[in-house]
Each structure stands twice: as C-alpha cells, then as structure tokens.
Structure 1
Amino acid sequence: MAPRRRSSAWCAPDGLAAPREQASLTTRRRAEVVARQPISRSPGRERSSSVSTTASRALPPFQRFLDSHRDLVWRFLVRAVGRSEAEDCFQETFIAALRAYPRVRADSNLRAWVLTIAHRKALDAHRARARRALPVADVAAVDGRQSAAAATADERLWGAVAELPPRQRSAITLRYLADLPHRDIAVAIGCSEEAARRSLHEGLKKLKEVYA
C-alpha cells in the first residue's frame, strides 16, 4: 500500500498543521528575524559580484521564499524526524538556506534545494539520536501522539514509513509528501536518479510486506 500522493491543494489535518500553527512562537520568531537580516557576501566573492548579483536579483526575497516553502519543509521534517525534533531542524534548515541564498542560481529548483538542506538536517538529527542511544521508534511514539488504537490508517502508514532505512524513508516522503520527481529526489538525498528509484521501490516493497 503506497502513501497517498499529496495534491497542491492539500490541507494539513489536525495534528499535522503548518509550522505557523505547530512550531513554537520562539522558533517562528527566530526564523523570521533571521530572514529579515541583510544578506552579506564575503570579500572573496566580490570579484564575481557582477554574475552573482545578477542571479540574485532574479530570486524572490528570502522572506517570500521562506513563506512559500515553510509548510512543505515543516511537513517533511515532521515525517522525517518527528515533531519533537522538527522545530530545531526547521530553524536550522532555514538558517542554512539564508546563508547559502546569495549563491543560489536564479534558475534553480528552490523546492528541491531547500528540501535537500532539510534532508541533511534530518540525517544529522538521526545521527545525534543514535549517539544518545535512543531506539529508532515510530513517529507516533517519538512525538507522544495518540495511541495506535486511536490513530488513523494514514498515521499508521506513515508510522511504518518512519521505520524504514533513512534513504528509503526520505525517498518515499519526498515523493508522496513533497511530490518531487525522481530527478529531484536524487538531488535531495545525494544519489543517482537510478539509486533514488531503487530506494523508492525497495521502501514501497517493505511497506507492502507490512500491510500484506
């Protein structure tokens, strides 16, 4: 059973809302304050300013970029690491994005780019969790959400996704939650397009075994 594809008009159900509803006020304010800070360029890059400035002018202001992608990044991180760790990853993702934004090409796929950063932050969170010797648990258990008996079929399915190996979990989340094509999934998780397809296929195969 494959996770349902999300349409562009998808509305977050109760319990999986957008970051402006679920993330703490402190986290949101920090991200917004950071987004308003002027973007500085190091002296070493001044020599290529004529090229980078031209590209940057075609990009949307960072605040607009943040507002356009924050919900998608938040949903991805909740599925990838659980709500308890998603807030920190969300803030770290957009701080890293802000620092790198001046170097982004004007014709870049911003959605795939920011999800690549989010994926890396999620991996960092999983590594930190492993160093703390915490068991890899179902997202519902990590978050302290409602018990399995009260969970919906969709929540149980995403709980099973959370137990997959990291690359398979990310491939499925990026495909069915972010609706990314295989090419962009490959960029996000740092592998070839064929490897991304294989991770997606293997992850779906394991899910079918669980629900067989």
Structure 2
Amino acid sequence: MKPFERVVAEHGATVLRVCRAVLGPVDAEDAWSETFLSALKAYPRLDEGANVEAWLVTIAHRKAIDVTRVRARAPIAVPDVAGLTHEPSRDGLPERGVEQRDDDLWRALAALPPKQRQAVAYHHVAGLPYQEVAAILGGTTEAARRAASDGMATLRRTYPPAGPSAARAPSARASKGSAS
C-alpha cells in the first residue's frame, strides 16, 4: 500500500476541487482537512485494490453533508444595513476584484439543486465514472448521469456571466482524458 503522504499528493487537489464545487470557497478547506483526517484513520483498513480517489470523494461527500447540516443549524448574521458604506456593483453585490470569477462560478454551482451540484462535482471535477457517483449519492447510474447532465446544461446557460472578461476554464475531467 502506498504511503498516505503519496495519496494526499496524488488526490489532494481533486478532493479540494470537489469540496469547493459542493460547498463553495468558504468551507472547502475545512472539509478537505476533515476528509484527509478521516481518511488517515481509515487508510490502513482500505482494501488493496480499492479505488482510492472514489473512496476519498465519498469521504468528502460525507464531510460536505456534515458541513451543510451545521450550516443549516447556525444562526444567520445580519449586518447593520444602515452602516453599509460600499457601493454595490451592477448586479447588486459588492465588487470582489480578482476573485469575482470564482465567486461567479460558485454562485452558478450553488444555484443548482444539491444532487446536480454533487453529480457535476464528482463526475466532471473528480472524474469519477457515473457508477461510482451513483454509489456515493445513493441512486442509480442513470440518475447520476441525468443529474450531471442537467446540472451541466444549467451551467452552460448561466455561466460564465455575460461580459468581456468571462471565459470558461477547461474541466479537470477533460484534462485527465478519462471516459465513462
């Protein structure tokens, strides 16, 4: 079995991309850390022939559920509206500079229903085959394929936002060259 450090080096970036796609940029790093802490504890018991990437994405999925549950129970902070001094941008949100495109992508992903967002993240970001996505999400392969397809169709309609700086980045799946 590979040393765990190599597992982190090989799959860490993919797991972080999945966490960002499912949870957004704010909670992604915490979920990533929790994923690898849990994986470290369970790694010695992992079957030799197991798909490590799918196993890690499954753990990340469970950590994302935990974060979502905690977020749902947390109180919502409301700023003092009278104290706001910034001017909103054209879309009514504060300007965010360089990170604007990442924020726009997260907003587009966050607008998807959870199953679609997760299916897109697990298949198109992590590159898992639909059969493994279905196992993680608890449905059929066809349902996973449909959720990812519907999610991608919505993203194609809504992202990138219109404007001269909008450009699509190639997906991680396309750069891996995996087919499923």
TM-score class, shorter: 0.5 to 0.7
Whether 1:104 and 2:52 are equivalent positions in the alignment is no
TM-score (norm. length: structure 1)? 0.59
**CA distance in structure 2 between the aligned counterparts of 1:196 and 1:134, rounded to whole angstroms:** 32
Letter in structure 1 aligned against 2:122: L
In structure 2, relative to structure 1, the CA distance for the partners of 1:147 and 1:168 (3 Å cut) is farther
Letter in structure 2 aligned against 1:188: I
TM-fit CA distance, 1:67: 1.7
CA-based RMSD: 2.8
1:6-85 to 2 correspondences below 5 Å: 59-85=1-27
Cross-structure match for 1:146: 96
TM-score (norm. length: structure 2)? 0.68
Cross-structure match for 1:122: 64
In structure 2, relative to structure 1, the CA distance for the partners of 1:84 and 1:102 (3 Å cut) is same
Letter in structure 2 aligned against 1:83: P
**CA distance in structure 1 between the aligned counterparts of 2:73 and 2:131, rounded to whole angstroms:** 32
In structure 2, relative to structure 1, the CA distance for the partners of 1:200 and 1:134 (3 Å cut) is farther
TM-fit CA distance, 1:121: 0.6
Which segments of structure 1 move beyond 4 Å, counting only runs of 4 or more? none
TM-fit CA distance, 1:206: 3.4
Greater RCO, CA 8 A, separation 6+: 1
Match of 2:151 among 203, 206, 209: 203
Percent same amino acid among aligned pairs? 41
**CA distance in structure 1 between the aligned counterparts of 2:45 and 2:115, rounded to whole angstroms:** 27
Letter in structure 2 aligned against 1:104: L
In structure 2, relative to structure 1, the CA distance for the partners of 1:163 and 1:134 (3 Å cut) is farther
8 Å CA contact 1:186, 1:192 repeated in 2: yes
Match of 1:91 among 29, 33, 48: 33
TM-fit CA distance, 1:104: 1.2
In structure 2, relative to structure 1, the CA distance for the partners of 1:159 and 1:113 (3 Å cut) is same
How many aligned residue pairs are there? 144
Letter in structure 1 aligned against 2:30: D
The more displaced of 161-170 and 198-207 is 198-207
**CA distance in structure 2 between the aligned counterparts of 1:182 and 1:127, rounded to whole angstroms:** 26
Q: Unaligned stretches of 5+ in structure 2?
A: 78-93, 160-180
In structure 2, the residue corresponding to 1:202 is in which secondary structure?
helix
